[in-house]
Amino acid sequence: MAKYARFETDDTQSYGIVTGDQIAELQSGLFEPMEVTGRSFPLSAVKLLTPCTPSKILAVGLNYRSHVGDRKVPETPEIFYKPVSSLQNPDDAIVIPPDALDAHFEGELVAVIGKTVSKATREEAEAAVFGVTCGNDVSDRNWQRGAGKDLQWWRAKGCDTFGPLGPFIVTGLNYSDLALTTRVNGQILQEQRTSDLIFNIPEIIRYVSQYVTLVPGDVIYTGTPGNTRRLQPGGVVEVEIEGIGTLRNPVK
């Protein structure tokens, strides 16, 4: 198991390997042969960024039975896109547009692709997973399915800052059975294990790759469990996943 992050120090952005409360700088990216530079920093002394820079973000809707509710359980993964401009760093603010009436948190396990994959078998899809991280698929319900519903979810799920990601990518975890907890102002509002996903990560990747080529660094938000609530400015939302860490973002 290994833990990676992308960070900024002295106006320089780098990838690093995290061990305890230290991060060792890498000479290259995550998807090339890794070699450390010899420089190491306390985590408390660096600014953590989104842990990768994907060419595209895909996400799965209705992927926990606890979130489906009375709706029909999908027969195949329900896929949509979020723009890369929606990404937000750990600890940076989720900024709700003034005319967004009902923006909700959605705590999620996120898969990070490590190999180019197209029309994959189940085994090829599983081998394409580099690691996993935490995500928050912020969604405005009014623009998604309310009175102000748009034709597409371009702003319901795609506004700037509506895709917090991080803080770390972890490899070697049994990502099929991890505890996921979402808290708002310290109150637990989502709590479930990833073993309850309707479609697990290899199946999602296999399905997506039949139509869209995935490349190293691409990410897939895998769906949110249970119920969600409206975010209020001044609050703090935390998505914690066992073995990964806690993605924390204030709300403005």
Q: Is 161 found in the same domain as 195? A: yes
| CATH number for position 26 | 2.30.30.370
Q: Is 115 found in the same domain as 231? A: yes
Q: Is 16 found in the same domain as 76? A: no
How many CB atoms sit inside 10 A of residue 243's CB? 15
Q: Is 161 found in the same domain as 105? A: yes
88: which strand partners? 164
Looking at residue 70, its pLDDT comes to 84
| CATH number for position 69 | 3.90.850.10
- Kindly report whether the global pTM for this prediction surpasses the value 0.95: yes
Looking at residue 152, its pLDDT comes to 97
Q: Is 38 found in the same domain as 125? A: no
Looking at residue 157, its pLDDT comes to 98
Q: How far is CA 177 from CA 37, 80, 180, 222, 236, in A?
A: 35, 24, 9, 13, 26
Domain count, the chain: 2
For residues 203 and 66, is the Cβ–Cβ distance under 8 A?
A: no
Looking at residue 11, its pLDDT comes to 87
With a cut of 70, which residues of the chain have pLDDT below it?
A: none
Q: Is 194 found in the same domain as 83? A: yes
Domain region containing 44 = 1-49
